[in-house]
Amino acid sequence: MPAKLIDGKALAAATRTKVAQGVAALTSQNRPVKLVAILVGDNPAAKVYAENQARTCAQVAIAYELKQLPATTSTAELHAAIHTLNRDPSVTGIFLHSPLPAGLDLQEAQYQIDILKDVEGVNPANIGHVVYGHTIIAPCTALAVVELIDSTGLDLTGKEVAVVGASRIVGRPLALLLTERNATVTLCHIHTKDTPAHTRTADVVVVAVGKPNLLRADHIKPGAVVNDVGINRVKITDAFGKVTEKTVGDVDFDEVSKVASWITPVPGGVGPMTVAMLLRNTLRAAKLVHGLEKTFSGK
């Protein structure tokens, strides 16, 4: 039987509705929900991303401001700009666009963001809280994958999960979140000797690598839940020799969807849900900043 689709677009729409309700409740109490994104230099992809971000925030009535800094911005100036936003009570969320121009260190800058306003969950203190099971704000894509798995109704307790790809922003935080949900997680990466040996026995497979067709049908246990985080642009040549571009994930969708029980499409799976999680994190940050929700340590 073909796999059922995990509909990231529909889940994202439902999340946006809930976030919009939460934002409306806060603003009716004169509590602002405002995301400030910092864009250093003029990277065209980051500019497009910022435009999309402004549009998505507008859909749920989150106030959005893009703070553009010149490519010549020094480390001290960038950090000072972040510190100013940290202190500004009207700003409840801070997002730093990447890549940064050469000479600026992304992680060093991310570490400057107030952990309560860190809507991407990239400050190491936030990752540390995930380790201890006291999540304040977790990275958006990792949260998105957990939500997508939950939507299938699968109870993660005791399940074998193979996460392929161990980046700081996706695979590693996801492994922590899934462990917190009582799954047994195997984290595979470029140095894993035999990744398919792990995926073949897994009840849930998540792949976040960036290589088209990395996972094929014989890498997946029949009935497994498959989440494809990868985003790859590939060239397709049609029967008349015309070449077009298409976005695909890391999974051979046509093959794997015949074996899996549930699968995320690309596009339309993890991508829209990641955007929705950024909005949800922004609402959460606002509640923390306004003292309506508390962290484990009571902040």
Residue ranges binding ligand NAD (CB under 6 A): 141, 164-167, 169-171, 188-190, 192, 195, 208-211, 229-232, 270-271, 274
The answer to whether 197 and 163 have CB atoms below 8 angstroms apart is no
State the nearest-atom distance from the C-beta of 271 to ligand NAD, in Å: 4
Give the 3-state secondary structure of residue 206: strand
85 vs 137, which CB is nearer to ligand NAD?
137
State the nearest-atom distance from the C-beta of 98 to ligand NAD, in Å: 10
129 vs 198, which CB is nearer to ligand NAD?
198
78 vs 142, which CB is nearer to ligand NAD?
142
CA distance readout (Å), 243 to 247, 251, 253, 254: 14, 22, 21, 20
State the nearest-atom distance from the C-beta of 270 to ligand NAD, in Å: 4
State the nearest-atom distance from the C-beta of 228 to ligand NAD, in Å: 8
The DSSP bridge partners found for residue 37 are 66, 95
d(CA 284, CA 261): 33
State the nearest-atom distance from the C-beta of 199 to ligand NAD, in Å: 10
Give the 3-state secondary structure of residue 194: coil
User: CA 274, 278, 283: angle at the middle one, nearest 5?
Assistant: 145
Structure tokens at 143: 């949260």
d(CA 183, CA 10): 26
26 vs 138, which CB is nearer to ligand NAD?
138
123 vs 141, which CB is nearer to ligand NAD?
141
CB within 8 Å of 221: residues ≥ 6 apart = 199, 200, 201, 202, 203, 259
CB within 8 Å of 227: residues ≥ 6 apart = 6, 145, 148, 149, 204, 205, 206, 207, 263, 264, 269, 270
81 vs 163, which CB is nearer to ligand NAD?
163
State the nearest-atom distance from the C-beta of 49 to ligand NAD, in Å: 11
